[in-house]
Amino acid sequence: MIDAKPTLIVRNATPNDIPNILRLCLKVYDEKLSYTSDQVRGHMNVFPKGQFVAVYQDAVVGYCATFRTDEATAFHSHTWAEITGGGYASRHDPDGDWLYGMEVCVDSGHRGLRIGQRLYNARKALAVGLNLKGIVFGGRIPGLARRWRSVGSAEAYVEAVADKRLRDTVLSFQLRNGFELHGILPKYLPFDKESKGYAAHLVWRNARRTESRLLTTQQRGQLPDTVRIGVIQYQQRRIASFEEFRQQVEYFIDALANYKADFAVLPELFSLQLLSIENEQIPAREAIARLTQYTEQLKKMLSELAVNYNINIIGGSHPTRGENDSIQNVCYICLRDGSIHSQAKIHPTPNERYWWNIQGGSELSVIMTDCGPIGVNICYDCEFPELARHLVDQGMLMLFVPFCTDERKSYLRVRYCGQARAVENQCYVILAGNVGNLPKVDNMDIQYAQSCILSPCDFPFARDGVAADTTPNVEMVALADLRLDILAQARRSGTVQNLKDRRFDLYSVSWLPSFAALPDLP
């Protein structure tokens, strides 16, 4: 008989680890300083190879976050918030030749297991494996405040620690592990009172690096070069049954699948067509409540179509009953691997609130697909730039905007804002809207749409920033091939570099975490 021994492994973090990583961070830091699920998801989306967890007897007891950066950025004076993009690792440069150490977090109850050293070794192995120049980061110096009167400055303190005249619990450990002092980073973590806000600027150089050309992101097999998008400009018309509704939707999914599209995009509230089955005037709030009864049936239909036709479906949106009997406007994203994701509309319009009593959602996260990380802003949400910026901080490359607008002015608000989101976030934005009419459905009696696929405005993209669009108010589809490699190139070295040039020293988007949503441990 062989006795089971405790196991300790270090491996790449996965999305399934996020709840346990959050619990670890909450244990080590207080709520104000801990990460949010969106931030940790952002780390994994932008650089999955660079995130590690230490697992001891099936419990996450350590977390390590890294990203790649260029040499000039790595060695220029910076704060933690500036270089990490507000904690999302959103300034990750896929072709950067230095690995930046953003976080090492260890459960204090397991410090005797040398978890920190194991995580640092994983970082070093990653830097060697990717043929990078080395590792850079800002390290805490928690003994500084205690010794301030005797040393007089942060520079004098780290020099004394380097000469072994003083001992610092963190810096001494870093120096023993082969890191060298490059300098001091003032105001690196202003809330770190023990370090008086300072950090030691540390570097580890990869002695095994060769000058061979680094592989591109696509050569490393992370993402496809091209993604084919199919937008469905869907006509609202009377139907007699759910089966007839399915036949109409399936017709378009089948057509786009024949064109080998990776995504099929349906409009916001396209399922209101189901209210025409009974063909009677129903009070607005009663009608929306009745429509929620189709939620599970709709999700099942979209998921079956996604799997059967091997296509990812952005399922427009559908009124869905949630907590406390409230109703939200929810987009169901059904991927061809059979998984179903959801995104509630954050900002209901005044009409939605008045006529249908629609309530806004409170969570906004990217969704990882086989074509890279995507985000969804339902119609009005696109008019709030903070939302798209929050998604791009998590690694989003394509923003899908199902919309439903009654006339041209309303449509243009969404269209112009969609184009702005594409420019300022250097991402693709895809709009899909309804046409036709439903005479006996309040707030859906007329429609205006010109669906489109938008790009940033720079030399590698379509001249007007429009990869494809439709004829206004005509039921049809639009197709476009979107190059993800060109998107990465524009972010890195375009005429303008909006994401790279953000002033994190002046502003950032901060999403308030909801720790109550964290599930309890079994």
Catalytic site positions? 268, 345, 379
The DSSP output letter for 192 is -
3-state helix, strand, coil in the chain (%, to 5): 35, 25, 40
The DSSP output letter for 458 is S
The total number of residues written for the chain in this structure: 522
Q: How many CB atoms lie within 10 A of CB 3?
A: 4
Q: Measure the CA–CA gap between 175 and 177, rounded to whole angstroms.
A: 5
- Lookup: tokens for 102: 């953003």
Q: Helical H runs in 280-384?
A: 284-291, 295-308, 350-351
Nearest to 35 by CA among 520, 522, 511: 511
Q: Measure the CA–CA gap between 49 and 83, rounded to whole angstroms.
A: 19
Following DSSP, what letter does each residue of 157-187 receive, concatenated? HHHHHHTTSS--TTHHHHHHTT-EEEEEETT
Do the Cβ atoms of 79 and 381 come closer than 8 Å?
no
Q: Measure the CA–CA gap between 429 and 419, rounded to whole angstroms.
A: 7
Q: Measure the CA–CA gap between 384 and 391, rounded to whole angstroms.
A: 12
| 3-class SS of residue 302 | helix
Following DSSP, what letter does each residue of 382-407 receive, concatenated? GG-HHHHHHHHHTT--EEEEEE--SS
Cα dihedral 313, 317, 319, 325 in deg (nearest 10) = 80
- Lookup: tokens for 294: 């189709």
Please name the amino acid found at residue 509: V
What separation in angstroms does the CA of 221 have from each of 28, 300, 418?
35, 32, 30
Please name the amino acid found at residue 5: K
Please name the amino acid found at residue 427: C
How many CA atoms are closer than 13 Å to the CA of 341, on its beta-carbon side? 19
Q: H helices then E strands: how many in the chain? A: 15, 21
Q: Measure the CA–CA gap between 372 and 48, rounded to whole angstroms.
A: 12
Cα 398 versus chain centre, distance: 10
